[in-house]
Structure 1
Amino acid sequence: MCVSRNVRFLSAFVPTFTNSECRKLLQRGVFAVNKIKNLTSVEVLETIKEILLKGYYYCETLRLGIEPRVHPASLKVGHGGTLDSTATGVLGHISRQMLEAALSRYHGEILQTPPLYSALKLRGRRIADLTRAGISVDLNPRPVTCHAIQCTVFSPPSFTLEVHCGGGFYVRSLVHDLGIALGSCAHVRELHRFQQGPFMEQDMLDSNEWTMQNILIAIKKAKESHGEFLKRPRKKHKCEASLSR
């Protein structure tokens, strides 16, 4: 990685933040992005991480006057919950009344079995990776919360749901279970998240806004607007599972 390449990349970067402010914001910062369709959550994270590394590298070069040694592992980037590229369902000969009656079963505190293709881990390995490797995994149901659920569009064989749920809730599992409850089958076709915690759609950074400057501004804004929320310890969702013999 050469300095000139990074300078070109950040030629439009206006150093509104000092180096110390940059480091402080990046140590524990949260912001919202608009996930691009057909990209996995991990791919989005890698894109964001590369942008931040290049920006930090550039700032440190200006501060030190020499090329710093910045290792990718020194910057950790995570997300508030994996998003699929898929959330509408497909059913057989089902009426809207039947669908809405079935939806009432999934409101409130329920037990839900996570999908086999998920980011949950068992013995240090992702369940999805184990499944792709042909290893059979038995997942146990776990308690999740659905605050509200309604059908907004019913156009057989497809329908659209609006779901307000708590952490650890899988829409794919909901749609799968819903199909079974109706004596049919259903799968997710498209999924869009409108809110994550206090972050709304208007808080998201679109892909054309993913720059070091915009990310730092978004982190600072989040700290000012949602400081108390961000101080809360994040709840970890346990995976109770076993390998099938």
Structure 2
Amino acid sequence: MGRRRQRGRNVQGILLFDKPLGDSSNKALQKVKQLYYANKAGHTGSLDPLATGLLPICFGGATKVSAFLLDADKRYWVRVKLGETTTTADSEGELLERRAVESVTAERVAAALEQFLGEIEQIPPMYSALKHQGERLYKLAREGVEVVREPRRVTIHDIRLLSCELPELELEVHCSKGTYIRTLAEDIGEALGCGAHVVGLRRTQVGPFSGENMVDLATLQALAGQEDGREALDALLLPADTALAGWPEVHLNSDSTFYLCQGQPVIVPKAPTEGRVRIYDDKDNFIGVGEILDDGRVAPKRMI
């Protein structure tokens, strides 16, 4: 039986997409994939429907570096409403409790934020995509089921108070992968003694990518409607190795390119002594991610 032919174009690269409000990350991905008529695409880390902002979408071989973006640090702008808690820790949930906020000041908020700097523990919210015995937590939550969740360690690199106009705060958060901003907002509210939930959330950075060059859906749709639409869309894509900006590079000669592509570790003069590296072949094409072995050889880790 013949191999099933894939539908769509062989698109390659990374799009810095500005996810619109209300769409799930997967719904946004499918819209973009359809506009590009791409046969292979994936996103790099879910955003809640309530959230907007940077959702890097990887096409073709770039999907093989998407895991490294999933592991990367993130940066968010968040608006928090004090004095109210909800079932989902955001404005889409049902109101649970109201508490007074009159005693809250910008100075108290700044002092409370200090408690969350560095490595902290978070209990994942029930309204999350984590699985329990094969079921997504948010599905169980909608059925009225609550399960015990183990705390997770995350790192808050920086948290800045941008404005304090009660009952709302605006914050900028720089954090490690796996951080739940809704949980952080809830915990800040409890530290202030008044409770809180998220009313606005925007991701502004993922690893080396900032939100300055994001492209929204309306722009993509307009380009797709042009006579040279596919060329215009493809011109927005970044090379796969931009996801690994800052990683050390290793450049191979023709022999080491051949052997490494066969899955064999190779000796590369002046290679780094440890860690992961970007690998380029003898024609300076990016061909994947390597890892330095204990004996100094470069081994293939994730090839494109």
SS at 1:193's partner residue? strand
Select 2:19's aligned residue among 35, 42, 48.
35
Seen in structure 2, the aligned counterparts of structure 1 residues 144 and 85 have a Cα distance that, compared at 3 Å, is same
Overall identity of the aligned pairs, in %: 31
SS at 2:33's partner residue? helix
Select 2:43's aligned residue among 71, 78, 81.
78
Q: Is the 8 A contact 2:185 2:198 kept in 1?
A: yes
User: Which residue does 1:216 correspond to in 2?
Assistant: 234
**Corresponding position: 1:165 with 2:175:** yes
Select 1:225's aligned residue among 238, 242, 246.
242
- C-alpha displacement of 1:214: 4.8
Select 2:200's aligned residue among 187, 190, 203.
190
- C-alpha displacement of 1:49: 2.5
In the alignment, the residues of structure 1 paired with residue 122 and residue 136 of structure 2 have an alpha-carbon distance, to the nearest angstrom, of: 18
Seen in structure 2, the aligned counterparts of structure 1 residues 48 and 182 have a Cα distance that, compared at 3 Å, is same
Select 1:177's aligned residue among 165, 187, 194.
187
In the alignment, the residues of structure 2 paired with residue 97 and residue 157 of structure 1 have an alpha-carbon distance, to the nearest angstrom, of: 14
Seen in structure 2, the aligned counterparts of structure 1 residues 214 and 140 have a Cα distance that, compared at 3 Å, is farther
Letter in 1 for 2:18: N
In the alignment, the residues of structure 1 paired with residue 176 and residue 112 of structure 2 have an alpha-carbon distance, to the nearest angstrom, of: 20
Provide Cα deviations, 1:132-167, integer angstroms capped at 9, x if missing partner. Answer: 122222212100011000111000111101111111
SS at 1:23's partner residue? coil
- C-alpha displacement of 1:232: 6.2
Letter in 1 for 2:43: G
Seen in structure 2, the aligned counterparts of structure 1 residues 76 and 125 have a Cα distance that, compared at 3 Å, is farther
- The higher-RCO structure (CA 8 Å, 6+ apart) is 1
Seen in structure 2, the aligned counterparts of structure 1 residues 24 and 34 have a Cα distance that, compared at 3 Å, is closer
Select 1:141's aligned residue among 151, 160, 163.
151
Structure 2: tracts of 5 or more residues without a match: 1-8, 52-77, 83-100, 225-229, 248-277, 279-287, 291-304
SS at 2:161's partner residue? strand
**Corresponding position: 1:105 with 2:115:** yes
SS at 2:16's partner residue? coil
Select 2:10's aligned residue among 19, 23, 30.
23
SS at 1:195's partner residue? strand
Q: Is the 8 A contact 2:80 2:198 kept in 1?
A: yes
Deviates more, 1:153-162 or 1:32-41: 32-41
Provide Cα deviations, 1:166-213, integer angstroms capped at 9, x if missing partner. Answer: 111111000001111111110000011111111112221211233454
Q: Which has the higher helix share?
A: 1
- C-alpha displacement of 1:126: 1.6
SS at 1:189's partner residue? strand
In the alignment, the residues of structure 1 paired with residue 244 and residue 190 of structure 2 have an alpha-carbon distance, to the nearest angstrom, of: 42
User: Which residue does 1:115 correspond to in 2?
Assistant: 125
**Corresponding position: 1:90 with 2:107:** no
Q: Is the 8 A contact 2:110 2:161 kept in 1?
A: yes
In the alignment, the residues of structure 1 paired with residue 184 and residue 289 of structure 2 have an alpha-carbon distance, to the nearest angstrom, of: 28
User: Which residue does 2:161 correspond to in 1?
Assistant: 151
In the alignment, the residues of structure 2 paired with residue 96 and residue 24 of structure 1 have an alpha-carbon distance, to the nearest angstrom, of: 49
- C-alpha displacement of 1:50: 2.1
Deviates more, 1:128-137 or 1:165-174: 128-137
Q: Is the 8 A contact 1:31 1:222 kept in 2?
A: no
Seen in structure 2, the aligned counterparts of structure 1 residues 84 and 176 have a Cα distance that, compared at 3 Å, is farther
> What TM-score, normalized to structure 1?
0.68
Provide Cα deviations, 1:47-71, integer angstroms capped at 9, x if missing partner. Answer: 112223xx34xxxxxxxxxxxxxxx
Q: Is the 8 A contact 2:11 2:40 kept in 1?
A: no
User: Which residue does 1:243 correspond to in 2?
Assistant: none
